[in-house]
Every structure is written in C-alpha cells, then in structure tokens.
A = this chain, B = another copy of it.
Amino acid sequence: MTETPRISAGQIGRSIPRVEARAKVTGTAEYIHNLRLPGMLWAKICRSTVPHGRIRHIDTSAAAAITGVQRIVTAADIRNVIAEPYYGPAFHDQPILAEEKVRHVGEPVAAVLAADPRIAEQAAQAIIVDYEPLPAVYDEVEALTSSVFVHDQLKPAGTFADLKHLAGRRDTNIALDFHLRRGDVEKAFAAAEQVFEHTFRTQQTMHTPLEPHVAVADVRDGAAVIHSSTQNPSFVRIEIARLLGWPENRVRVKTAFLGGGFGAKVYVKVEALAVALSMLAGRPVKIALTMEEQFFTISRHASTFRIKSAVDKEGRITARHCEVFYNGGAYADIGPRVAQKSGFTAAGPYDIPNVAIDSFEIYTNRPPAGAFRGFGMPQLVWAYECHADLIARGLGIDAVEFRRKNLLREGMPHATGTIMRDAATAAVLDRLAQRIGWGQPFNRGNGTLRRGRGIAFGLKAAISPTTSVATVAIAADGSCTVYCGTVDMGQGSTTAMAQIAAETLELDAEAVRVVAPDTDVTPYDMGTLGSRSTFHMGHAVRLAAEEAKAKLAALAAETGVPPGTNLPLAELFRRKYGMQAGTVVGSGSYLPSYVSPDHATGMTPNATPFWMVGGSAAEIEIDTETGQVRVLRLVTVADAGTPVNPRIVETQLTGAAIQHLGMTLFENMEFTDGQLRNPNFAEYKIPGIRDLPEQLTGEIVDAVQQSGPYGAKGVGETGTFAVAPAIANAIHDAVGVRLMELPITPEAVYRALRTAAGDPLGDT
C-alpha cells in the first residue's frame, strides 16, 4: 500500500453541489423503474399468506384463465433453469420461489408473467395455494430455545469461517453466535460497588426507500444482463453467476440512480427471480415491487439486548456483560454479519477492562432482516446509552461526566484488543455537550408541557476485509472519467469520488465524470454499504488516479517534455499521438489490512479499517396529558475524518437523524400471529415534514483519519447511532420515566407516565 497523501490540492473539503443534482432536480435522471425493454414481460408475485406452512397444492387454473397471462411459474419451473435455486450471502437458505415450505408471511410462492402488469397482478392474486399450517416462532429470545425450527437444515454459503460449525445443523434457529471475552467478568462483577442490569428491545422496521426494489433481467445467447436498483452490483453478478454456473463475464449487472437504499438493496433481492423468469420466458422480465411487498422483502432486525454493568466507587465501569439477540426472520441474508460486526462493539465507546459479549442472529418466522443503515448499531446504542444514563442517575453523576470518566480514548485498547486510532470520541462528546448547552439552565416547561435534554453517542467498526477496485481514464483532451462500482443512492458518493480523483490529478472536481456502476464497465467493488465507500473506494480511486498520473508523467518524459513544464494534457497527447488521440488508463485496487476476531475470544489486534464515532443530543417537549413527544432540537455530531465534501457530510448526518427519528418515535412493523398488520404508509408512519425538530443540525468535529484517502472516512451511518437513546434520555430528563423499548409512541409514553404515577393502564 502506498503512503496516503494528506496535503490537499484544494479539492478535498470543497462543498461543491452534487454532480447529479441538476438531473435530479430537472427530472431527467433515469431510474430502473422507468426502464422498459422491447418484448419485456412484467412479473407479479403470489406470496405466502401463512407464517409457516407446508405447500400442499398450488391451484393456478383461475390465474391461467385470465386473458393476457403469458406464464405462471412455481418452484418446479425454476429448477428447470437453475439446478439449486437457493441464494444468500451468509447461508444459501433462500429459495427463489418457495419449495415445499413457506417460512414467513409474504414469501414468494409463484410468479405470473404478462405484458401488462395489471393483468399479471390480477392473476397473481387469483392463484390459490393450499397450506398445511406449521407451528411458528416469532420472538428472537423464544426462538433460541424453541422446538420449532425455521429451517430443516442449515446451509452456510461457505463465505464466512465463523458459520462453518453450523453446517448441517437441524436443531437450532441460531444463524450466528459471536462471543467476546476480555478480562475476568465474573470476578469483576463480584467485586463491584454497584451492578446495573437492564433489558432493552427494539422493533422490526423497514427501510422505506421511496423506490422499491426493481430489476429487469434479460438473459439471451448465454449471457445475462440485469438492470437492478442494487447497492452491490458486483455481489449480484457473482451470486447470479454462481446460481447459473456461469463465469462472471457472462453476467452483467447495471445500476442507475437509486431512489434510496439504506441497506435494503444489498445482496440478491429480486434479481435471481427476474433472471430465472427471463430464462423461462425467453424474454426480458421486469419485477418492480410495490411498497407493500417491500415490507416482506427485507427489514431491520428487531432485537433484545440484556446489558449488565459493574461499577466501582469512582463511577468507573469495571465489567460489562452484553447479550444481544437479533431477530433475523426466516432467511439469514447478511444478518449473521450484523450480529457479529455490530456485536463486538456492543460494550460501547467505553474503556471497560472486563467484557463478555454474546451476540446471536436468530431465525424466526418473520420477514427477513438484514443490513439497514447502521448495521445493528442503532439497536446497540439504544441499549447501551440508555443504560449509561441509568447508571449515571443511579450513581448520581452527571451523564456527560460519567461518559467522560469512562471514555475509550485515543491509544486505549478496545474490548477486542484493537488499539483505538483516529476515533474522536472525546471531541464528539464535547461538541454534543456544547451544542445542546449541557449543564446550562434552560426552559424546562411547566404544567402539562415539560422539557428535557438528553445525549448519547456510539462507536462503530467498518465491515472488513473488503475490496474496492477503480479505474481512471484520461482522454486525449485531458478530461477525466472515473470508473467505480460505488452506487450513488443519494449519499453523494459520485461527487466525493470526483473530488478525490480531482485532488490526485489536480483537476477541478466539477470536470471529472464518474460513470454509473455496471459490472461490464466498472471493476469489482464489494458493495455500497457499511459506510465503506469513501474510505475503500476513495483509496481505490486515488490509487487509480495516481497510476494514471504516473503514466502521464512517463508520457511527458517520453515525448521530451522537461520535468516541471506546465504543458496542457491535450498538448501532451497531441505530441505523442500526432492528433487528439489516445487514452491513459490507471487502475487501483484497495484492500485494508485486517485480522478476523478469534472465534473463541472475539479478540483481534485489527478490528476495523477505521472507527465511526457519532452521537446525538436532543431537547424535547412532552405533553403529559397525551404522551406526545415533540423534538425541539436535534444535534448530530460525527467524526468524519477530513470531510471530502462537508456540506454533503452534514446532510448525511441530518438525513440519518431524520430517518432514525422515525425508528425512535413512529415506525413499527406490527405483527399478529406472524401476520404483518401495517405494510403501508397509511399505517406505518415515517417522519413527515411536521415531525422534524425546529432545530436540526449535523456537525463534524475536527479530525483526520490518518489511514484514509486524504484523511477521510465513511459517515453514511454515523448519524443513525444515537437518536433514539438521546431522545429517551431527554424524556427521562423531562418527566422522570424510562422507556425500555422502541418506538416511543405517545401511548408508550403515556403508559409509562401512568405507571410511574402508580396508576398503570390495564390492557384494553
């Protein structure tokens, strides 16, 4: 790895407008939803109506009788084109269409093809499936010991070493168990001055990208082209190639703009079904999910977190035991990695000598859960930062002071043993306290309107080891094009990559073009997820630009240009080629060094390429008559290293905060006996403009990620961490009640107030 240049040529730190802003504002930006190919058929999906059941019979006669229906496809048909039609990044557990059994409500059972999507939809609804109901399990803690098993046999994908011991298991719902042991936890608890123990829960939520999943597959002449709203085209290419038994170079995955992703669009979602249907139909096939179907496709894990801390007389945390249970739903997706990657940071941003962590991914009969902006962190921070406040209250110490006293600072070892580097924990905490006016008097309200303030923050590791590759082409007029597989789903990565390439090549970022990800065009990238792009792809783009720069220098030397001559690139090409001709191509590949945690102890000297540090501070007002919470101020602060584009980073932070205001106050996938009651925006409320705090800010502390490209690091998730605990802590500050689970609905607050007043409501 070459040494990272850190002195800016003026392009890093520029808050230029996003390069795609004009196209989006004028409506000319293209999305896969707009794509229609000649001869294309639409597929609509018949989905399971039971949470767990054996398929007795599929009656397609009524559907087939509908004029315009081209074909009805079930699992047996899929087997004609894909020999082993199970996919998934961690387990090959998810069938393209359900075979024999269904494992959650909304699981795809059959598909209908028609030229008219309305006919396909009508026919999909006319398919009658007869199920033999099976006992089901929905709760992540119950599932751990249940005799109901979601899968008959576990099939790890072979990708992850820590899943190998689960291969072939028929007697468990555990899809990953991660364990970390540092120091002597039992001894520390025995010696503790005080012990605090709480259980926190979070609900299942949905990503709600306003563009639901969509894919158009066109398989012909031994080659598959898949247009997909995916966050990781390279993975989709590799996974589809695996399913088909084809080499990668016969599978092409193209993206366009994404109408949001947030982790919903990583790994295979509708692409495998689209490919199989195209092969069966011999025509292009489009699958565009509705918002309702999205709820059945992927979600954020519900969770249960039992956290227990030992504290000494000085208010130092001496030991912590964390038991985290992630409700993975019926198919693992990337959930095992959520349980592991967030799991090992479950003890929080604190310096604790004795730590035990047990983190589990659990199969249940709910719709699958996977990656969701924050990758498990919002669930963890919710718990450990509410817990921190409760300890501080228990000890009678100021909540910020308690955190400072226990802070994991630069140079200290993290619970994994990794020494902390470039994690601005102290700066973030200080800035939060400063901005919310911590410790200063404020209007606490009166009567039925009470105000309070809360603060919370967290620490996240980046998923590792992962690879990004980029190429940079310099045309004969000196103009530059960047090829990278990072998907711009609104986060501004295209702009950031243009700035990084421009910095390296000493160009204006506005003049750099970044082409849309397309596996036939842009080289491998592990995926646009886990806040990894600025760091990993930023490095790859930098390295590619450096190689291009070196080749330009060689060209100058070859054509006799004296070093230091300020010759325009166009003139350099003209000298070499005799006309406006040629392309200089540089490529760069980046793989950070990393050491996987030891499977027994969870220890590693190198847990992450970089740390994300972020927090929120909130001031809220509660109407004690209704339980309604108004967020008056919400400040989100992050360590972004040296921000490539400060304005975009700030909007990333506020965007993440707004999204997690939804998780905190409103959003909840409500189930009755495994049936989702509210898969629509009328009943599943996301934040509206009137729900936003009057004061909403995103701020960056002064920091440098020494190992990052030009000092930068990822920040896409950092704003998600601490919104919920900051608000819960503020509620406690305002009215003295503690909410232990999300979302914090008016009903939940009102119930808590009534309970605190000794007058709980009976369940109605």
A232 to B471, CA, bound (A): 23
A546 contacts the other chain (CB 8 A): no
Report the separation of the CA atoms of residues A340 and B471 in the bound assembly, to the nearest whole angstrom.
Answer: 39
Query: Would you mind naming 29 contact pairs between A and B with Cβ atoms under 8 Å apart?
Result: A22-B221, A23-B220, A28-B220, A28-B221, A34-B38, A238-B476, A238-B477, A238-B580, A247-B478, A247-B479, A247-B511, A248-B476, A249-B475, A249-B479, A249-B513, A250-B513, A465-B577, A467-B581, A469-B582, A471-B585, A515-B520, A515-B521, A524-B581, A524-B582, A526-B581, A577-B591, A585-B585, A585-B587, A587-B587
Determine whether A578 belongs to the interface, using a CB cutoff of 8 Å to chain B: yes
A159 at the interface (CB under 8 A from B): yes
Shortest CB-to-CB span from A253 to chain B, Å, is 12
Residue contact A479 to B26, C-beta cutoff 8 Å: no
Within the complex, the shortest CB–CB distance from A469 to chain B, in Å, comes to: 5
Segment 485-529 of A: residues with Cβ below 8 Å from B: 511-513, 515, 518, 520-521, 523-524, 526
Residues of chain B contacted by A515 (CB below 8 angstroms): 520-521
Give 9 closest A-B pairs by Cβ, nearest first.
A523-B583, A247-B479, A585-B587, A249-B479, A248-B475, A524-B583, A249-B513, A23-B221, A467-B581
Q: Which residues of B contact A466 (CB under 8 A)?
A: 581
Residues on B with beta carbons closer than 8 Å to the beta carbon of A465: 577-578
- Residues of chain B within 8 A of A587, CB atoms compared: 585, 587
With contacts A467-B582, A473-B523, A481-B520 known, what are 6 further pairs, Cβ within 8 A? Answer: A238-B476, A247-B477, A249-B475, A469-B585, A520-B521, A577-B591
For A511, what are the chain B residues with a Cβ–Cβ distance below 8 Å? 247, 249
A195 close to chain B: CB less than 8 A: no
Complex Cα distance, B17 from A439, in Å, reads 79
Q: Does A576 contact B (CB under 8 A)?
A: yes
A703 to chain B minimum Cβ distance, whole angstroms, is 29
How far, in angstroms, from A247 to B477 measured CA to CA in the complex?
A: 7
User: 1/0 per residue A20-58: CB within 8 Å of B?
Assistant: 001100101000001010100000000000000000000
A475 touches B583 (CB 8 A): no
Is A222 part of the binding interface, using a Cβ–Cβ cutoff of 8 Å? yes
* A476 adjacent to B524 (CB under 8 Å): yes
Determine the distance from Cα of A352 to Cα of B466 in the docked complex, in whole angstroms.
Answer: 67
Chain B residues, Cβ within 8 Å of A579: 159
**Shortest Cβ distance from residue A506 to the other chain B in the assembled complex, whole angstroms:** 16
> Which residues 445-478 of A have a CB within 8 angstroms of B?
465-467, 469, 471, 473, 475-478
Shortest beta-carbon distance from A615 to chain B in Å = 32
Question: How distant is the Cα of A589 from the Cα of B248 in the complex, in angstroms?
Answer: 26
Q: How far is the CB of A528 from chain B (nearest CB, A)?
A: 15
Contact with B along A619-646 (1 / 0, CB 8 A): 0000000000000000000000000000
Q: Indicate whether A477 sits within 8 Å of B241 (C-beta atoms), given known contacts A34-B38, A582-B524.
A: yes
List the number of copies, as a whole number. Answer: 2
Q: Counting CB contacts under 8 A, is A648 at the interface?
A: no
- Cβ of A480 < 8 Å from any Cβ of B? yes
Q: For A480, list chain B residues within 8 Å (CB).
A: 249
CB neighbours (8 Å) of A221 from chain B are 22-23, 26, 28
Q: Which residues of B contact A521 (CB under 8 A)?
A: 515, 518, 520-521
Chain B residues within an 8 Å CB radius of A576: 591
Q: Nearest Cβ distance between residue A483 and chain B, in whole angstroms?
A: 8
Q: How far does the Cβ of A599 sit from chain B's closest Cβ, in whole Å?
A: 15
* Chain B residues, CB < 8 A from A582: 467, 469, 524, 589, 591
**Contact call A471/B471, Cβ cutoff below 8 A:** yes
Query: Is the Cβ of A249 less than 8 Å from the Cβ of B481?
Result: yes
Whole-angstrom CA separation of A587 from B548 in the bound complex: 11
Q: Are A22 and B585 in contact (CB under 8 A)?
A: no
Smallest Cβ distance from A727 to chain B, in angstroms?
A: 39
Check A477 against B248 for contact (C-beta < 8 Å): yes
A518 to B26 alpha-carbon distance, docked (Å): 26
Q: Flag if A22 contacts B222 (CB, 8 Å).
A: yes
Of A241, A576, A577, chain B has the most CB atoms within 10 Å of the CB of A577
Tell me which of B38, B159, B523, B583 contacts A589 (CB under 8 A): B583
A521-B523 Cα distance, complex, nearest whole Å: 11
A526 — which chain B residues lie within 8 A by C-beta? 581
Residue of B nearest to A469 (CB): B583
A479 to B238, CA, bound (A): 11
Give every chain B residue within 8 A of A159 (Cβ-Cβ). 579
Q: How far is the CA of A203 from the CA of B84 in the complex (A)?
A: 64
Distance (whole angstroms) from the CB of A508 to the closest CB of chain B: 11
CB under 8 Å from chain B, chain A span 563-588: 576-585, 587
Inter-chain CA distance A431–B609, complex, in Å, is 68
Distance in Å: Cβ of A320 to nearest Cβ of chain B: 31
Please give the distance in Å from A583's CB to the nearest CB on chain B.
4
Question: Which residues from B are CB-within-8-Å of A512?
Answer: 249
User: Chain B residues with Cβ under 8 A from A513's Cβ?
Assistant: 249-250
How far is A177 from B395 in the complex, measured between Cα atoms in Å? 98
Residue in chain B with minimal CB distance to A475? B248
Give the chain B neighbours of A577 by CB distance below 8 A.
465, 467, 591
- A221→B513 CA distance, assembly (Å): 13
Q: Give Cα distance in the complex from A473 to B524, angstroms.
A: 10
Chain B residues with CB under 8 A of A583? 469, 523-524, 589
CB-based nearest B residue for A511: B247
- A159 CA to B241 CA, complexed, in Å: 47
Task: Write out, one digit per residue, whether chain A residues 343-387 have a CB within 8 A of any chain B CB (1) or not (0).
Answer: 000000000000000000000000000000000000000000000
A256 to nearest B CB, angstroms? Answer: 13
- Nearest chain-B residue to A471 (Cβ)? B585
Query: Which residues in window 503-561 of A have CB below 8 A to B?
Result: 511-513, 515, 518, 520-521, 523-524, 526
A467 surroundings in chain B (CB, below 8 A) = 577, 581-582
Nearest CB on B from A509, distance (A):
13
Which chain B residue has the least Cβ–Cβ distance from A520? Answer: B515
* CB proximity to B under 8 Å, residues A79-119: none
A23: which B residues are within 8 A, CB to CB?
220-221
B247 A475 Cβ-Cβ under 8 A: yes
Q: Smallest Cβ distance from A41 to chain B, in angstroms?
A: 16
Q: Chain B residues near A584: list those with CB within 8 A.
A: 589
Q: How far is the CB of A556 from chain B (nearest CB, A)?
A: 15
* Bound: A363/B526 CA distance, A: 58
Most buried by B among A465, A466, A579: A579
Residue in chain B with minimal CB distance to A581: B467
* Smallest CB gap from A526: residue in B: B581
In the complex, which residue of chain B has the Cβ closest to the Cβ of A282?
B28
Cα of A465 to Cα of B574 in the assembled complex, Å = 12
Complex Cα spacing A222 to B26, Å: 12
List A157-173 residues whose CB lies under 8 Å from chain B.
159
Closest Cβ–Cβ distance, residue A714 to chain B (whole Å):
18
